[in-house]
Chain A
Amino acid sequence: MKFERKKVENCFADSRTYEYRIPVSARELEEALPNPWEMRRNEKLRRPVFIAEKEGIRLKGILAGNTVRASFPETEWERRQREFEEWLEGLEIDLEKNV
């Protein structure tokens, strides 16, 4: 899956937060997340969201939107980001089958 990436400027300590624009909805991405992700979905908000966490990576998005935000842990954040992006890229085939 191809995606666009932009660093999110914010005011947190050790911020490593990036936004990803993806060619599918955040809901589809959330449904494709493998088991180790700890999932939380809130359908009661005006625009429902999901928040998922795995080993310090925090991923969230408006379910109906096509951007997700990922925050990476301070330790080895570059490696973790690379792995996350490799995983995201690898999702392309499965997700395109679903669309």
Chain B
Amino acid sequence: MDKRIYLNNAATSWPKPDGVAEAVKKALEALPGSMHRGGIEDFDVFAAVRQRMARLMGVADGEDIALGPNATWGLNLALHGFPLEAGDVVIATKAEHNSVLRPLHDREAREGIRVLYLDTDETGCVRAEAWEEALKKHRPKLAVFPHASNVTGAVHDAAAMAALAKSFGAAVLLDASQSLGWIPVEADSWGIDMLAFTGHKYLLGPQGTGGLFVRKGIRLRPWLQGGTGIHSDLAEMPVEMPLHLEAGTGNEPSFHGLLAALEWAGEHPLETAEISSLVLCLREGLQEAGARVILPEGETTPVVSFTLPGESAADVGYLLEESYDIICRTGLHCAPKIFSCLGVPETVRLSLSRFTSREEIHAVIEAVRDIRG
């Protein structure tokens, strides 16, 4: 086992639960699945994942979930495919990841849509009043927000924000990349129209897994087009979900791995109390060591972002990794707009998982103390 301390779970989770690697290996060694061509006797891993994902995100029909390689894929399908015309307004937040910012920028530049990015507070959350005011003033066609910030771990009240957006006539796209598997999600009851997710972060599956839920009635232009295994005589993508958005051969081995991770998580429910206590311990220890820690209030993901006065985030990350074998992430975390709101140019980010131990947290605090000198 690798002796390094892995605290970069907000990028991708490690280690994976028992059974995930084995499931991927078995899938690679077995005959390929039937890819929408099998009969009732054939095991369809994509259907099994859809079913479990539907339960996990609180939606009625797994067929409304398109599966693909990652959340970026899902967000691009949603943001490029959602019907918008020149002059239409999209409201988003400064907490967005580049997988939201870049597709929106592209449509702004090429199609003349207008995108408004709302400021967050100093912890990475958009204030409810600001959200409501912007919705009222601009009447957007689409409202986008991250359930949780990948930079700070702050969690938005997705139910309240979605309800407000709906009340002003906007469709709602929720980026659940940083929450699903950690924070309960109820997309149907919250009125979420589209939800992008990844399988390799808090769902503990392999890289190469993710997807997009699209509520019935929302018709996305299929941004990716190609073979679907059925309706091959059609010039256009089939209208039925999930094939409408799924072109090309799926990553069957990785989805077997994701299924194994979901089954494991079903048998090992997340105990947030212990991890919350570790997050608290880490925050306090870092503060005592002289770090400036971003402290979101209320529910958070297990992400702790900080800076050390007098040291660049790049240097701190380098020293943690090279001198102490602590793997973290530094810089802008692919979410560049949030930093003007946080009041720092960059951060060091430590992100825990359910496998992080108290000893590891103490080792990190000691290391930061040494670096601070």
One of A30-38, A39-47, A83-91 at the interface: A39-47
State in angstroms the CA–CA spacing of A49 and B314 once bound together. 14
Residues of A within 8 A of B314 (CB): 10, 12, 17, 71
Q: Does any Cβ of A come within 8 Å of B332's Cβ?
A: yes
Does A24 lie at the interface of the complex (its beta carbon under 8 Å from any beta carbon of B)? no
**Chain A residue with the shortest CB-CB distance to B333:** A11
**Given A12-B314, A60-B315: A47 and B322 interface contact (C-beta under 8 Å):** yes
Given A11-B329, A42-B373, A44-B370, answer yes or no on A49-B334 (Cβ-Cβ < 8 Å).
Answer: no
List chain A residues, Cβ under 8 A from B330: 10-12
Interface of B: prevailing SS:
helix
Complex: chain A residue closest to B322, CB-CB: A62
State which size class the interface on B falls in.
20 to 34
Nearest A residue to B98 by beta-carbon distance? A11
B323 within 8 A of A: yes
Report Cα–Cα, A79/B370, bound state, in Å.
Answer: 36
Selected from B324, B336, B373, the residue in CB contact (under 8 A) with A44 is B373
Which residues of the other chain, B, contact A42 by a CB distance below 8 angstroms? 373
Return chain A residues, CB-CB under 8 Å to B329: 11
Q: Is B241 an interface residue (CB 8 A)?
A: no
A interface residue numbers (CB < 8 A to B): 10-13, 15, 17, 42, 44-49, 51, 60, 62, 65, 69, 71
Expressed in whole angstroms, the minimum distance between the Cβ of A11 and any Cβ of chain B is 3
Q: Are B332 and A47 in contact (CB under 8 A)?
A: no
* Complexed CA–CA distance, A60 and B323 (Å): 12
Residue of B313, B319, B330, B371 with most chain A CB atoms under a 10 A cut-off: B319
CB of B82 within 8 Å of the partner chain? no
Residue numbers in A under 8 Å from B117 (CB-CB): none
Does A10 contact B367, Cβ atoms closer than 8 Å? no
User: Would A45 and B370 count as touching, CB distance under 8 A?
Assistant: yes
B19 CB-CB contact with A under 8 Å: no
Residue of B322, B324, B334, B367 with most partner-chain A CB within 10 A: B322
Question: Do B323 and A49 touch across chains, with their CB atoms under 8 A apart?
Answer: yes
Residues of A close to B370: CB separation below 8 A: 44-46
Chain B stretch 321-348: residues in CB contact (< 8 A) with chain A: 322-324, 329-334, 336, 345-346
Question: Contacts A44-B370, A71-B314 known; A12 to B323 CB distance under 8 Å?
Answer: no
Residues of chain B within 8 A (CB-CB) of A13 are: 331-332, 336, 345-346
Chain A's closest residue to B336 (CB) is A13
Report A85 CB to chain B, min CB distance, Å: 20
B182 at interface (Cβ–Cβ under 8 A)? no
Q: Which residue of B lies closest to A51 (CB)?
A: B315
Cα–Cα distance between A48 and B323 once the two chains are bound (Å):
7
Whether A12 pairs with B346 at a CB distance below 8 angstroms is: yes
11 contacts between A and B (CB under 8 A): A11-B330, A11-B331, A12-B314, A13-B336, A15-B331, A44-B370, A46-B367, A46-B370, A47-B323, A49-B319, A60-B315
